[in-house]
Amino acid sequence: MAQLGDLERTVLDCLWRFDHPRTVREVHEELAMSRRIAYTTVLTTLQRLARKGLVKQDSQARAHLFSAVATREALFAELMTDALGIAGDDHEAMLRFVDVISPEARQALADTLGRQDRNHDTT
């Protein structure tokens, strides 16, 4: 998966905050509250995200509607999987990852792995 730029991440954040598709105008208006940004820049960014497969564009309506293809968490999981695919040594990469995450995230990971181990043992 291609690396995302700052504006692409900001646009995705905007789409993730709502549970319904947004028009370019709606995304532009929200972003324009905190920065100077041209409508055409927002449109281009949404179209670029659509080409990358991260945003779905519905052109059936009068105004094109855009929505994120996956949740923030699903995208993160895909990015992690991609990163592990290029890491070479999955074990070492995971150990380094665990070293840099917060204690809360480390505990959540341990809890999840414990639950999965228990579920796997009962099947």
Q: Which residues pair with 65 in a beta bridge?
A: 23, 58
Residue 12 or residue 122, greater confidence: 12
- Predicted confidence at residue 112, as pLDDT, reads 87
Q: Which of 85, 86, 78 is nearest to 52 (CA)?
A: 78
Name 10's Cβ contacts closer than 8 Å, sequence gap at least 6.
31
Q: Which residues pair with 58 in a beta bridge?
A: 65
Domain 6-68 class? Answer: mainly alpha
Strand, helix or coil at 68?
Answer: strand
pLDDT higher than 60, residue 2: no
Extents of the domains making up the chain: 6-68, 72-121
User: Which residue in this structure is represented by tokens 């074990």?
Assistant: 91
pLDDT tens track for 54-113 = 999 988 767 789 999 998 888 888 878 877 878 778 788 888 888 998 999 899 888 888
pLDDT higher than 60, residue 36: yes
